[in-house]
Structure 1
Amino acid sequence: MPPDNKKPIVRKPIARKPTSRKKKSKPFSMQWKIAIAGLLLILLSPFYYGYVLKGFVATWRWVKDWGQDPNYRTYKSFNIKIPKKYSIHGIDVSYYQGKINWQKVKEMKEDDVSIRFAFIKATEGIMLVDSYFQRNWREAPKAGIICGAYHFFRPKKDGKTQAKFFLQVVNIEKGDLPPVVDIESLDGVSPLKMRAELADFLNYVEVKTKVRPIIYTGLKFYEDYLVDRFDEYPLWIAHYYQPKLRLDKSRWKFWQHSDKAKINGIGHIVDFNAFNGDSLALEKMRN
């Protein structure tokens, strides 16, 4: 068929809008309403917050008392953490603690922890006598506490003179713990000078008493100035608030692990110590 000579009419397509159908909303189920209301009641309840708080406190106490080391736990009556691996505990005192009721000290006990020994400050330098020494030195043994006396050493003063002064004040008897020299600072002198005076003190006391003295010092002072020196002398080391003393266990005899203990019969906080050994080892240390 021959083509038609007329031009075809071009019609634009009509755009259709899609028909939108509104979905019918389903009514909120009664079960959901009840569940949400119940949840709101729980969240707004003071009992809920009390329960959450109680759980938080319990967790915090566990972390505090046990989380770091199960062998380092808090004893409420002493108000400090005490390493559990040691069976013999003691304190050290001076005029700072005031008048002490030693019988109450002896009777205090929590679990297997009680006060078995005490180191008592006697002298300092070449002139100072602790004002409570004589009373403590007399009353503590009466209560059944094993005692030792200590001298606070001043490196600027002559070591031998300090030793003579200490022994003039302290009458060391059979059954006492060895005498102690407390060295904590250089007092402005060189380490060499400090060690020379300390050696004079130790030698004089040992010759006169026939007992080898104990050296007390802080862990850092020991590491800085005394390590690999005076190795023949027993060590008493201060190193606070730790589950373990950072020193070879064969090297030390006493560990002062806290300075904040609360003890019955004493009106001020006290240093607390552990002995590295059993009862037989402690007896061997006594004169």
Structure 2
Amino acid sequence: MARRVSTPSSPKKRALPPIGWVVIVALVLLIGGGIWYVNRLNTNEWRHVSKIGIRLPFKYSIHGIDVSKHNGRINWQELRQMRFEELRLQFVFIKATEGASLTDKDFKNNWKQADGVGLYRGAYHFYIPWRTPESQFENFKRSVKLKKGDLPPVLDFELGTNALSQEQVIANLKTWLTLAENYYGVRPIIYTNADFYRRYIKENFVGYPLWIADYSGWTLNRYDDAVIHFWQHSKSGYTDGIRGPVDYNVFLGEVEDLKALCLK
């Protein structure tokens, strides 16, 4: 007679202890909260673009760069023809002058070439706070002739000084901006960073178009009610036609808004 083989009983599954459930729930909440937080921050629809090596805020469709002699010789045709994610560069700010006497050696050629390939173009002056605003504006005026369709002149204010008080710096900035507005017939754009915006610009230059350099975050919420037109969000992008990295900017509006900002 065959012997009956007994089947070993399956081991009983141990119930997950309460601390285990606490850990699981905490992980789910942490992951879900992280996803919610990232999506909340990503209101500007940032996405990495391998073609140019940086992320872009795809909430906005008008992207551009700023250049100076430090970018070397530029192939403007290649730059204009480049496409990335069905977009292309549409505007450029070009350094014209610095202080009371310096002129960017590539300005004249860059200014002409940018116009030739159909980019919206703007010229900027690198402001030296310990030089007189009158002499600095004369330097800019000698080099920059604007025409209909050009962007307003730009005052690049990112250099500090201990030689003047805050009140004196503000007064001199107002002098340069007033001279430029009277001469060109349009209110200039102020380029600055977060620190200088809070210290000098916020309470003193209401109504001026702002171009903010800020690489620190996903949004510009910390600028309160400031009317910001341009955002320089990266200094390490790439483009066809330029060797090495270049500053990337975005216009915070539509094409009609950009055209309205230009000289009439």
Q: What band does the TM-score fall into relative to the shorter chain?
A: 0.7 to 0.9
* Superposed displacement of residue 249, structure 1: 6.4
Trace 1:15-30 onto structure 2 (pairs within 5 A).
Answer: none
Residue 278 of structure 1 aligns with which residue? 254
Distance in 2 separating the partners of 1:78 and 1:113: 12
Residue 227 of structure 2 aligns with which residue? 251
* Superposed displacement of residue 241, structure 1: 4.8
Residue 26 of structure 2 aligns with which residue? none
Residue 185 of structure 1 pairs with residue 164 of structure 2:
no
Q: Higher Cα Rg: structure 1 or 2?
A: 1
SS at match of 1:147: strand
* Superposed displacement of residue 187, structure 1: 2.4
Which whole-Å deviations, capped at 9, do the CAs of 1:135-154 have from their partners, x for residues lacking one? 10011111111100000001
Residue 46 of structure 1 aligns with which residue? none
Distance verdict in 2 for CA 1:109–1:138, change over 3 Å: same
Residue 187 of structure 2 aligns with which residue? 212
Residue 131 of structure 1 aligns with which residue? 105
Match of 1:202 among 173, 177, 189: 177
SS at match of 1:258: strand
* Superposed displacement of residue 170, structure 1: 0.6
Report the residue type matching 1:69 in the other structure: N
Q: Following superposition, which runs of at least 4 residues in structure 1 exceed 6 angstroms of deviation?
A: none
Match of 1:225 among 160, 185, 200: 200
Contact 1:218 1:239 in 2 (8 A): yes
SS at match of 1:144: coil
* Superposed displacement of residue 224, structure 1: 2.2
Match of 1:102 among 62, 76, 95: 76
SS at match of 1:174: coil
Gaps of at least 5 residues in structure 1 are 1-62
Distance in 2 separating the partners of 1:190 and 1:276: 33
Residue 263 of structure 1 aligns with which residue? 239
Contact 1:241 1:258 in 2 (8 A): no
Identity between Structure 1 and Structure 2 (%): 41
Report the residue type matching 1:257 in the other structure: H
> How many residues end up aligned between the 2 structures?
224
Report the residue type matching 1:214 in the other structure: I
Contact 1:104 1:265 in 2 (8 A): yes
Report the residue type matching 1:165 in the other structure: N
Residue 125 of structure 2 aligns with which residue? 151
* Superposed displacement of residue 168, structure 1: 0.7
More displaced, 123-132 or 189-198? 189-198
Which whole-Å deviations, capped at 9, do the CAs of 1:167-197 have from their partners, x for residues lacking one? 1111111110000000012222221111111
Contact 1:126 1:165 in 2 (8 A): yes
Contact 1:155 1:193 in 2 (8 A): no
SS at match of 1:85: coil
Distance in 1 separating the partners of 2:126 and 2:77: 26
SS at match of 2:174: helix
Which whole-Å deviations, capped at 9, do the CAs of 1:75-109 have from their partners, x for residues lacking one? 00110011111110100000110100111111111
SS at match of 2:223: coil
Report the residue type matching 2:64 in the other structure: G
Residue 18 of structure 2 aligns with which residue? none
Distance in 1 separating the partners of 2:102 and 2:120: 24
TM-score, normalised via structure 2 length: 0.81
Distance in 2 separating the partners of 1:231 and 1:199: 12
TM-score, normalised via structure 1 length: 0.74
